[in-house]
């Protein structure tokens, strides 16, 4: 049987790219979305589609999904991964930057979910996996907007799961922490400085997290891992 279409946002690097590679290895057709799609060329397949889309742009997001569904059938799994972390004193940050952060981290998840949900409700099945953060329940002293948005994503995931459970739709909130990605670049610091700020902890690899996400997906549709914190065993944080 043909494999289900999977959509991954923020697929150009880090967790998103690792998730895309994991699903591609299992033969799933993919729609990979990112603001800079040229970075997604490392994955090559006739069943992989790419689109330069900002998740804050609902019309562009929906149009890309419509094209993918026309080629590969309905979206059965959406991985809402797009995001970034900015730190700095809230009182000195540009209000426009703060607004855009909310657009990507929260509205982007809402936009992706809104685009796939009608079809999932109609078919009576589907899976939405939201990449939150350990910060959705243990916020830090910096990155206030980031943590607030992640807390909202966790709440959204829980509310959607309760509301759509009787329609056989799974909504999964994954709350990882200490994953080795290039998130430090958005903070304007080196990985070494990022490690020092965190106390030089152990990190999980993006590939290891992708394996966990894929596991949540491949479980029978009647089973939903609703809220999952993923941290290194050696970390007491959270």
Is 194 catalytic? The answer is: no
CA dihedral defined by 36, 42, 45, 51, rounded to 10 degrees? 0
Active-site residue, selected from the candidate residues 58, 100, 146, 215: 146
The C-alpha angle 44, 61, 69, rounded to 5 degrees, equals 60
* CA 25 to each of CA 43, 48, 92, 140: distance values in angstroms, whole numbers, following the listed order: 10, 11, 45, 36
Q: Please measure the distance between the N-terminal and C-terminal CA atoms of the chain and give it in whole angstroms.
A: 42
* CA 194 to each of CA 98, 105, 156, 214: distance values in angstroms, whole numbers, following the listed order: 22, 21, 29, 28
Query: Among all residues, which ones are annotated catalytic?
Result: 146
């Amino acid at each position: 049987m043909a494999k289900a279409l999977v959509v991954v946002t923020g697929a150009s690097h880090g967790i998103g790219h690792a998730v895309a590679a994991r699903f591609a290895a299992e033969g799933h057709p993919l729609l990979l979305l990112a603001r800079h799609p040229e970075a997604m060329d490392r994955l090559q397949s006739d069943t992989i589609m790419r689109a330069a889309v900002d998740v804050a742009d609902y019309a562009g997001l929906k149009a890309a999904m419509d094209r993918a569904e026309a080629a590969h059938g309905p979206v059965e799994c959406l991985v809402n991964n797009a995001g970034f972390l900015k730190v700095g004193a809230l009182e000195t940050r540009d209000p426009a930057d703060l607004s855009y952060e909310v657009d990507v981290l929260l509205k982007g998840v809402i936009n992706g979910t809104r685009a796939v949900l009608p079809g999932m409700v109609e078919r009576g099945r589907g899976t939405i996996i939201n990449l939150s953060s350990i910060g959705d329940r243990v916020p830090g002293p910096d990155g206030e907007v980031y943590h607030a948005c992640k807390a909202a994503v966790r709440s959204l995931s829980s509310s959607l799961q309760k509301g759509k459970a009787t329609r056989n739709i799974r909504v999964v909130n994954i709350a990882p922490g200490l994953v080795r990605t290039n998130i430090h670049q958005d903070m304007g610091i080196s990985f070494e400085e990022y490690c020092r700020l965190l106390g030089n902890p152990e990190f999980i690899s993006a590939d290891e997290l992708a394996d966990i996400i894929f596991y949540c997906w491949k479980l029978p549709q009647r089973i939903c891992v609703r809220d999952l914190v993923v941290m290194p065993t050696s970390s007491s944080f959270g």
